[in-house]
Amino acid sequence: MANVGALLDDMCVEGDELDELVTELDEEQWARPTPAEGWTIAHQIAHLAWTDDVALLSATDPDAFAAVVDEAARNPLGFVDEGAEERARARPADLISTWRLGRARLAETLRRVEDGRKLPWFGPPMGVGSMATARLMETWAHGQDIADALDVTRTPTARLRNVAHIGVRTRDFAYATHGQTPPAEPFRVELVGPGGEAWEWGPADAAQRITGPALDFCLLVTQRRHPDDLAVETVGADAAHWLTIAQAFAGAPGEGRKPGQHS
């Protein structure tokens, strides 16, 4: 993976590109439904702004962050929706301004975090590189919901490698969140990047294998497309099962998308 500075640069560019997609939307478009049930485009940006602010708390005020975690534990299924709903009520101009400010503050703060420090999160603590990758992944995933709502096709970039990486790394988390025991042996993942480059994880001789376009794999692990609609192929029963539960984001198992929903 890239070094921490490069990851933070990628995180910022991902946010900037999504910003370009929404900055000229009118109020009617901000209220347009997205594929996430009950969420408009405003909810999507509101959620990203909220999560950036919580990530900033993690880096600057661990006690305040711990209070957020306690609050989330009391309402694990509704906490995220409530945070998005509250912020989505803001005027679009105010919402996007808040999101921009939060993104900038988070990036600036993460660049100053000392080497080796772990930041608390809703799952295991993570280093700055992992935090930047997680924020990039979520920005890309929610950006996909917005692009789908606007019927826009985004151009894939090399930043997808960060999304794919976290998708691979969260394999065991996906099993755990479904109450299942992950396989003992590692999987081999071989993806083709947007420029034709080969991205690989896991032992070359692994019996369980996943192959396909990086974009499709990223859409799968962020649950923005149903596996049936993607050109991701597997060898082995365990690999095939993983694709039905793969989840790169924290929290309870997602509902994903229905087959053919975006065909």
Q: Which residues of 103-132 are buried (b: 16+ CB within 10 A; e: fewer)?
A: bebbbeebeebeeeeebbbbeeebebbbbb
pLDDT tens series, the chain, 263 aa = 568 999 999 999 999 999 999 999 999 999 999 999 999 999 999 999 999 999 999 999 999 999 999 988 888 768 888 889 999 999 999 999 999 999 999 999 999 999 899 999 987 899 999 999 999 999 999 999 999 999 999 999 999 999 999 999 999 999 999 999 999 999 999 999 999 999 999 999 999 999 999 999 999 999 999 999 999 999 999 999 999 999 998 777 777 778 777 75
Which helix (H) or strand (E) segment is 201 a member of?
A: strand 198-201
Enumerate the β-bridge partners of residue 235: 209
pLDDT of residue 76: 75
What is the pTM for the complete model shown?
Answer: 0.94
Provide the token pair at 167: 């998708």
- Helices and strands (DSSP H and E) totals, the chain: 11, 4
Spatial CB neighbours of 108, under 8 Å, sequence gap ≥ 6: none
pLDDT of residue 91: 96
Q: Which residue ranges form the domains of the chain, and what is each CATH number? A: 4-150 (1.20.120.450), 160-245 (3.30.1050)
SS3 234: strand
SS3 112: helix
Enumerate the β-bridge partners of residue 198: 192
